[in-house]
Structure 1
Amino acid sequence: MVREPLTPEQIARGHLLGRLLREARGRRTMVDVAHQAGISVETLRKIEGGRIPTPAFFTVAAIADALDLSLDDLLRRLHDVPAIAV
């Protein structure tokens, strides 16, 4: 099965998701958040950097839980802020 290329909007939304998660992490270390979310630091780094523009739902849910961030709030913020093209 061939994966369709991502649209510019999907790529921009991935960068926005990464920025929102990075901001929510605040002063906490990537190591701390990744450990609490049960993912690798490299995965968190790639998501925050927008290099994984469409991370798995359960990965985002685990990160949001580790950050005490509501998925509803995260989704609202993703839709309220216009995505900036990269």
Structure 2
Amino acid sequence: MITSDLKIELIQKIIESSNLDLLLRIKEIIEASDSYHVNERPSIYQNLIEVRVFSDVEQAKIDKAMIQHQNGDCISDEEAQKEIQEWLED
């Protein structure tokens, strides 16, 4: 397998994943690597996908929300809409 093909496949799988533990492990592996370098021109990836990079504050809020969801500290959209409607009627 060509390195560039493998990178594209991994990028696609990472984007599709919603498994926070897996993504955090991938991040740790990348950060731990002393020799993490992209040896190809960035233009190779320009038209592949658009990636949104979150600020530290945004990422912290996302991480907090993910943990709350995993712990069951959330309500459904239907419940939220009902609460909003009740609040508006008061």
* Normalised TM-score (structure 1): 0.30
* Normalised TM-score (structure 2): 0.29
